[in-house]
Structure formats: structure tokens, C-alpha cells
């Protein structure tokens, strides 16, 4: 069964603006779940939003404030902003060269629990990087997509995942490092880890990636893993 999902590339967008738009889409999906007469545009069942953000740090509801290692003044000096938000997980960074994906779907329609949903997001990103010859996987006890997860001194994260689900309708999602400026991660304990590294496709392969090509492959594999039929608007 294919699920009709509206795909939108919001391109370079302020974090708060994207968050507000997510909330709008979330309310539409929630209303549709509770009353099928309230149809979504194009008779779809949910959304997949892609975007890039200007430099921003976000702290999940279970995160520790002290995992942000810099002052407000330093934040301003590096042109970054900071938000406490309502997803799971700890602190992470979003910025240029990173594919940020926000699936807003009803997991009950897909027959998924939250754990399986997160594993499916991981599966899609693992498949994307495999097309470029990068072997990635999972790290026990942590979400996201990792390289050398079985080597404690070498484990590094390429894609972070932090989601929120209310009545099984999802928000937030993943942050996939393609051509990301990794030095911005030096100012936090990424996802609360003090002993794990962060990486990007650019760093691993030694050259700048074709961002649009990687984005299209990410969309393709998400569609395959979840059985989504995309409606581009």
C-alpha cells in the first residue's frame, strides 16, 4: 500500500519559521486523524518537509542545558541561535550543508510504533550513504546513523534523530550531515555524548557532495522504506 505524502523542500529557512510550519502541518494531520472529512491538500495523509537551517542549536526536552558549552555572547559571535524544543533527545546542531527532514505522519496508518519508526529513518539514511560506498550502521543504546559503531574510540555520528509523537502523529525528525561545517559541533556535547565524534559525507569522502543529488536519494529511500507516494507541491 502506498501512502500519499506531500513533499515540500523549504530550502534555507529560519528554525523557528520551520517549527511554526511544522506545527501547522501537524495540526492538519491530527485533525484528519480525528475526522476524515477534514482532508489534507491533494487528499494526502501527511507531510515530508526537507530544509536547511542557518546555524542553530536545539535542546530536546530530556536534554541537559550544560551540554551547550558556550555563552550567549559567543553564540552571537558565531551567528548561531539556540532553542529549547519539544522533541526527544539532547542537544544537536543544524546548519548549512545539512539535510534536515521533518516527517509529519500518523504512525498508526503506517502500522508503526515509535521504536520501529526511528529504526526506519535510520534504515533509509544507511541506504543513502551506502550508495556512495560508506558503510554505516547503528550504535547500541543510541539513535541515529553511525560509522564504526563497534569501535568505541572511532564511533562517529553522521545523522542525528530526534522526534516527537503525539497520539502517534510525528514531528521533528533527522539531521543528516552532508557538507556540514563540523566545527560548530565543538561547542556542544552532541546528543549528550562526551566521547563520540561527529562526521559528514564530505569529511568521509574527502570532497564536497552534490547536495541536491544526496537530497533526492534521501527522498527516494524514505519513500521506499515507508511506502510513501510523494505529491510535490
For the whole model, what pTM was predicted? 0.93
Average pLDDT, the chain: 92
pLDDT tens-digit readout, 52-84: 999 999 888 767 788 788 788 988 899 999 988
Is a pLDDT exceeding 80 seen at residue 196?
no
For 25, half-sphere exposure in the C-beta direction (CA atoms, 13 angstrom radius) is: 25
Pairing mode, strands 156-166 and 197-198: parallel
The CATH number of 49-226, from 2.40.128.260, 3.30.70.260, 3.60.15.10, 3.30.930.10, is 3.30.930.10
User: pLDDT band for position 191 (50/70/90)?
Assistant: low
- Would you state the pLDDT for residue 190? 59
Going through 28-167 in order, the beta strands assigned E by DSSP cover: 46-52, 56-59, 81-84, 91-94, 98-104, 145-147, 156-166
Site of grid cell 519508526: 117
pLDDT tens-digit readout, 89-104: 778 899 999 999 999 9
3-state secondary structure at position 230 = strand
- 188: nearest Cα among 31, 71, 103, 73: 71
- Would you state the pLDDT for residue 65? 80
User: pLDDT band for position 193 (50/70/90)?
Assistant: low
Is a pLDDT exceeding 90 seen at residue 2?
no
- Would you state the pLDDT for residue 64? 78
Report the C-alpha gap between 202 and 147 in whole angstroms: 14
Counting residues of the chain whose pLDDT is more than 70, the rounded percentage is: 97
- Would you state the pLDDT for residue 23? 95
Catalytic residues: 191
- Would you state the pLDDT for residue 233? 74
Mean pLDDT value across residues 161-183 = 95
pLDDT tens-digit readout, 29-38: 999 998 878 8
In the chain, domain spans: 49-226
Amino acid at each position: 500500500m502506498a501512502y500519499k505524502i506531500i513533499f515540500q523542500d523549504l530550502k534555507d529557512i529560519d528554525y523557528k519559521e520551520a517549527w511554526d510550519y511544522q506545527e501547522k502541518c501537524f495540526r492538519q494531520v491530527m485533525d484528519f486523524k480525528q475526522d476524515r472529512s477534514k482532508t489534507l491538500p491533494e487528499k494526502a495523509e501527511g507531510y515530508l518537509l526537507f530544509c536547511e537551517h542557518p546555524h542553530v542549536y536545539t535542546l530536546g526536552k530530556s536534554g541537559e542545558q550544560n551540554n551547550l558549552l558556550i555563552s550567549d555572547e559567543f553564540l552571537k559571535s558565531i551567528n548561531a541561535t539556540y532553542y529549547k524544543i519539544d522533541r526527544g533527545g539532547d542537544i544537536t546542531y543544524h546548519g548549512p550543508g545539512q539535510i534536515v527532514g521533518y516527517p509529519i505522519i500518523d504512525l498508526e496508518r503506517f502500522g508503526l510504533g515509535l521504536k520501529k519508526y526511528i529504526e526506519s529513518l535510520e534504515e533509509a539514511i544507511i541506504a543513502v550513504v551506502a550508495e556512495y560506498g560508506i558503510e554505516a550502521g547503528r550504535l547500541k543504546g543510541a539513535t541515529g546513523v553511525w560509522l564504526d559503531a563497534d569501535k568505541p574510540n572511532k564511533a562517529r555520528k553522521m545523522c542525528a534523530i530526534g522526534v516527537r509523537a503525539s497520539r502517534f502523529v510525528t514531528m521533528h525528525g533527522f539531521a543528516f550531515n552532508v557538507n556540514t561545517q563540523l566545527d560548530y559541533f565543538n561547542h556542544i556535547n552532541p546528543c549528550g555524548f562526551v566521547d563520540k565524534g561527529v562526521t559528514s559525507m564530505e569529511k568521509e569522502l574527502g570532497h564536497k557532495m552534490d547536495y541536491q543529488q544526496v537530497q533526492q536519494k534521501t527522498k527516494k529511500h524514505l519513500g521506499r522504506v515507508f511506502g510513501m507516494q510523494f505529491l510535490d507541491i
